[in-house]
Structure 1
């Protein structure tokens, strides 16, 4: 956390470089603000500084309706829809679409599946399901190159629900079977 003097000087200057790095809580109003808030400056003796909005709220302060601290840089709301997509990509990487549906993923993120599809189209250029399939194929391709596992073992380890879906995904992407992409002399046939 920055020192009281540094925070106070930045608040009094409304220095945008410190926006999101600390929050000003005013004891007399029980409100916390960003350092760039356009309201009249409170007396220095009435302010306390917190490193995060959550810390200010935990101390009993409520967010300012004028400067909207939840939109400060470095917070999820400031990142906007990219934050939702990033969270979705992390969940997909963790196997969310191997065990569940896009609808379940969207519910977990607090949006509708239709909205999630629009966000993916805008930020990723592909649907959540396409991203999941691409990641499964990439994982399977690495396993083909680095292991001696059977095609069935690779299909399930890569996250495919069936060997048939595994073969279809490779045919769609490469126009060939997975076994034809395996380096010669590696692996057992099944």
Structure 2
């Protein structure tokens, strides 16, 4: 599996929750080093630059990510929030978030990992208490556990992304049809 960060969920908190890939089988952790966490913060557009993270920041990020994923799952399934996950997200949301600054060149966001995590926690609070809750869907690929916001007409979107999952499923279905199709004589 490649290490490129993917942003297909239509919401930063959902993309963050998706950094542990393939939760049902061979779990694939994206935050294997502090540098990978820093890269995610920058690639997501959350910050322009981040003070280099440490191992403690990675542990805090994984804890927050898992709490967000738990709460998203609870909300998506219409269940009551798990109390421990709720406490983790709310505690992170209380911390100082990233703060944009105006420079001669325009807007600039420099932050620490804890500030970035506080911002993600606040975004999760807004998502899970806002109008997009009914639009949250899990990817139709049985191997994928990404949850995304379905803004398609008629809410017909089936996959987190065509590149990541849709094409794989469509190609597999095509191969299966070809394999079972009667041979033309």
Structure with bigger gyration radius: 1
Per residue, is there more helix in 1 or in 2?
1
TM range (shorter): under 0.3
TM (norm. structure 2) is 0.26
